[in-house]
């Protein structure tokens, strides 16, 4: 954890998050996996029909569901929970980033004709 916290400096912040366009590119190439960390009540209200749905509080018991050979991109509506999940997953040895703009930003980006840019 000490090595992890030493990297929490402005020059390293870009390594902790991924922009939506880069996420879509890597997802389409099969190089990353989206992990929706919202609680079930939230995913029932509005859904993202791709990626894994693993609430942040269930991560310790469900680590085996995460691919070890891909970048993990965690997301919540904005970024608070996903950044906390990212920090924890990084301490568990995963290559992980949080989605800049969160799921709300992703949905805004994909609305209309842009939805066809992601391969589901």
The mean pLDDT values, 10 residues at a time, for the chain of 120 residues are 64 84 97 97 92 96 96 95 94 95 94 88
This prediction has a pTM of 0.89
DSSP string, the chain: -HHHHHT-SGGGGGGTEE-HHHHHHHHHTT-EEEEE---HHHHHHS--SSSEE--GGGHHHHGGGS-SSSEEEEE-SSSHHHHHHHHHHHHTT--EEEETTHHHHHHHHHTGGGGGGS--
- Return the pLDDT at 7: 62
Q: What is the pLDDT of residue 3?
A: 62
* CATH numbers and ranges of domains, the chain: 2-110 (3.40.250.10)
């Amino acid at each position: 954890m000490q090595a992890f916290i030493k990297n929490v400096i402005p020059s390293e912040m870009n390594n902790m998050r991924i922009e939506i366009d880069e996420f879509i590119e890597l997802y389409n190439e099969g190089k990353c996996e989206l992990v929706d960390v919202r609680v079930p009540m939230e995913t029932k209200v509005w859904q993202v029909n791709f990626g894994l749905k693993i609430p942040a509080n269930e991560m310790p018991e469900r680590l085996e569901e995460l691919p070890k050979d891909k970048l993990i991109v965690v997301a919540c509506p904005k970024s608070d929970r996903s950044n906390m999940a990212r920090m924890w997953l990084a301490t568990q040895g995963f290559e992980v980033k949080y989605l800049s703009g969160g799921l709300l930003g992703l949905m805004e980006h994909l609305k209309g004709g842009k939805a066809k840019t992601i391969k589901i």
